[in-house]
Structure 1
């Protein structure tokens, strides 16, 4: 992993986030109400259908929600499908939210004759700064159930970087940071870009390492469209699963307004890199120094964060200042085929990275050739780019991985997805890559039914190289 993926983790019909109706980040409070679907439907008829609607032997009702929740938290809706007939009925339930009637989740099941089945669906609410209420509706071909739920205002996040207003040029990359509310407590941060949720809140190794080292969660984004953009972070204290019975008492939020213009700020650059070689030979008994000159035309250099890939750790942080400054970091020994990846960051959040400049060729003690077993293990670079976590139990869990051939010859890579604490292989795919070529793969499996919310590790493996993250499945 060279830097966080910019792939939007929109969950679609699984667990996608929504902006609640017409609610925007403003001083006004917008009350989201369901509107009649046709000109002939009256308000009285609409109210009559609000709780439970039936068709034949199957009825649908909303049995429970965890509302009210603090804005930004996961809101879960529990619906019951009751079959009073003498034959089984196949039903598909769709969760629809807000005045704009945004479809959030869809799930099908068979309800046996005389039986009642429960469906749990949900989504992360948008972190609005005022109390709000809106409708949630469960739709089936056999009936509709609706209920008004509410969220309480998210508190302003005490500290965040960069400043809340920024103008940048097209193609500029910006690092946003939601700093720790309490340095002694963990937190989950959900990121939104232009009203769309782009992170699941389940971070990978780089997110955890960054929080431990810098005391902040981050989101890296490249602005590739002109105009006005909005980036929002919702911070939920604690690291447990969200849902009924485990809802945070309060949430925090911060928001940035970004204008993409022709005269805005640009990303900094890195020049004068040393060593100049792309592949750097390192022995176990050597200390190797990496150096670069950072340049910011606006004179606002802040720091360089030095990463070591595959090991997924920060080697160090170098403070910078002015429009040009030199940054160095030292490393003892080596990590074969790992990359040293510097992030150059400015005061205004603009940033750049050298993603594949230095690759470590660890040659053992003093270059002893007998330490080389000749099997080329580690010639592949592997990272997890994202997941569609959290998902409901029984839904398909997807893991997006990137594999890179760091060797000098064309090679085939078999990438396997392994899940759980018991390390069970569930999916695999083989690709053939040219030297320096990368490919993105999507692996996954249908999750198992569970009686309680679960959080567990998933990892991808290829040729002795692994990358791991954590996912959530809701009961």
Structure 2
């Protein structure tokens, strides 16, 4: 496949010293290339290519073309031959000859010149013929990733074909050339839609065919319409879901195109579901060429009795992405999988009246999805105080946070807390401090009050929270103050505070947030061994 290369050559002429861009002087030469001989003929209204070989080469601005002869005949070193000279260093131009008679055409560079005598007469040979056709054709629509082949065929009754020049129609710029010979010849130019910017800009492609004696013809063709590539990739779903619930599918849309011509692109994203494909949702979004955006599609699943796994596909005009999802049937809910409790963490000890939080690590060790209600049971006389519903795929793990507000007991109380899934349980003994300190003296108890955060922040930035810490106990003490974040609680920062009774201090804790693509809202808690306070914060996505 040919690719366009734009290079620059230095200028000069025969036996003369030409000044180059790098400040040196070189001796150059000129000789005729087309027409090969110093005399040629053309019919009135015909065109001739003039080309000279320059060593080591000249720039278009270093050449001077002249024509002496009847008015109405003219020389044009312009497109495609101005750009041809710029690329090759070969002085080239074409002349149009309307008036019969004899003309003298010359080109000079750095004090040297070559010339041709042109006789304009009805007795001269006719111009060669040329036809050019693109594949796909002008009525087609392709993407910037598709291939284009432009075919040209030329013929000359006198058997002197010499060269075909390819010219892009956008800026009338030389692209490539193919040497010919004989009476008939063909050539192709291959490129991708993304490189054919003249087709993107609705300009034609042109070919010029020249014979050895300079006789010249041109042809042009419109190309196909070239649109952006609307790429799509499914990035996640909320599957498995229960039958009758909403299934969410998130996908990333990527635009591959030329921002000069395509700019903002409207992309329709369609959600297709099932083995018998059914269109269930659609969303149109605007994406700038070269960028990506995220789209979320959804539909309400059918209330089926048996668990089903089926494909979901997100389609754009040019691309598609597919994945499988599972919907748990009403008869199967809770009957598949085996959900083990693999770990427990709590924020104990807390003071009576404060919230006790329990985080359980769960793992599905069965061979199917586990749809379970996870319960928090507390006390020697077991009482269910909180419940969460979860669905965990076979072999997958998750965490769940449960909790409740403890009773404001006067004396310290120790009791078991238990998390159960129906398949497994795990327990731990916790301590709740009495508000009177159980009649004992000498205890430091730190109360917490969050005073502020710097939320919202953008993903990747520092999130900080401040809190007032007060020793409400009757003795001095030192305690660790922790910052806990997320729906799956995680300690991200901590500091040690020493306070006398009734003394208050301010603490500031923080951490570098994860560079999320989408907005995320979650709790942040500052806690001591006896108390905690929580705020909800938002981290803005970067995408």
Task: Provide TM-score, normalisation by structure 1.
Answer: 0.38
Task: Provide TM-score, normalisation by structure 2.
Answer: 0.34
* Bigger RCO of structures 1 and 2 (CA < 8 A, at least 6 apart): 1
- Return the structure number with greater strand share: 2
